[in-house]
């Protein structure tokens, strides 16, 4: 567009917006470069502003601003989430390393304790089994024991489907 202003530019812009052309303006537009550019610009802007379904094809500034803010927040959340995930992985690795270190440090004590339990546990289990076998007739005659066993079995049967879902 040239820098010189034409005295008819405002009238041409109004005619292009409203569609009310007169013969003198039409003949002026064919000869004036400035007015021809104004007419083309107004028509182009009106075609951009009017969508085929009557709605504007250009998004509103507020909507664009909100979308930009939303995208910025999503990027910030993603950045924060990456930091949290990396910290979670580092913490998990440190905890696993700590457990391995603890096991390595106390391994001799743990093996000694497990060996002691194994040597002492079997005789105690046999004693308990013999005691229960000897007391079975006396335990069987108590109705409260049978009621407790029956309630425990019922509770297990009721809870089993709930526990199996997990």
pLDDT at 1: 45
Residue 43 domain boundaries: 7-57
Tokens 């096991």 locate to 103
Joined together, the tokens standing for residue 40 give: 């083309």
Q: What is the pLDDT of residues 114-137, one digit of tens each?
A: 888 777 777 877 787 777 777 777
Contact present, 68 and 42 (Cβ < 8 Å) = no
pLDDT at 53: 57
* Residue 67 covered by a domain: no
Q: What pLDDT, in 10s, does the model give residues 44-53? A: 887 776 655 5
Domain count across the chain: 1
Kindly report the pTM of this predicted structure. 0.34
Give the whole-angstrom CA distance, residue 43 versus residue 49. Answer: 10
pLDDT at 162: 73
Residue 84 resides in a domain: no
Compute the average pLDDT of residues 27-35. Answer: 86
pLDDT for position 76: 93
Asked whether residue 91 is assigned to any structural domain, the reply reads no
Place of tokens 């094809």: 57
Residue 50 inside a domain? The answer is: yes
- The predicted-structure confidence for 51-94, as pLDDT tens digits, reads as follows 555 555 556 788 888 888 999 999 999 999 999 999 999 999 99
Name the packing angle between helices 143-165 and 61-140 (round to 10°): 150
């Amino acid at each position: 567009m040239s820098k010189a202003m034409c005295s008819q530019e405002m009238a041409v812009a109004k005619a292009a917006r409203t569609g009310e052309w007169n013969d003198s303006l039409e003949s002026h537009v064919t000869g004036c470069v400035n007015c021809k550019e104004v007419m083309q610009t107004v028509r182009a802007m009106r075609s951009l502003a009017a969508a085929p379904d009557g709605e504007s094809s250009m998004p509103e500034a507020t909507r664009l601003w909100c979308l930009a803010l939303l995208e910025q927040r999503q990027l910030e959340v993603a950045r924060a989430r990456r930091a949290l995930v990396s910290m979670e992985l580092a913490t998990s690795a440190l905890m696993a390393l700590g457990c391995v270190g603890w096991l390595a440090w106390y391994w001799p004590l743990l093996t000694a304790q497990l060996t002691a339990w194994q040597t002492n546990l079997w005789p105690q289990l046999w004693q308990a089994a013999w005691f229960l076998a000897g007391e079975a007739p006396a335990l069987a005659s108590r109705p409260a024991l049978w009621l407790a066993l029956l309630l425990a079995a019922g509770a297990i049967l009721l809870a089993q489907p709930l526990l199996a879902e997990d």
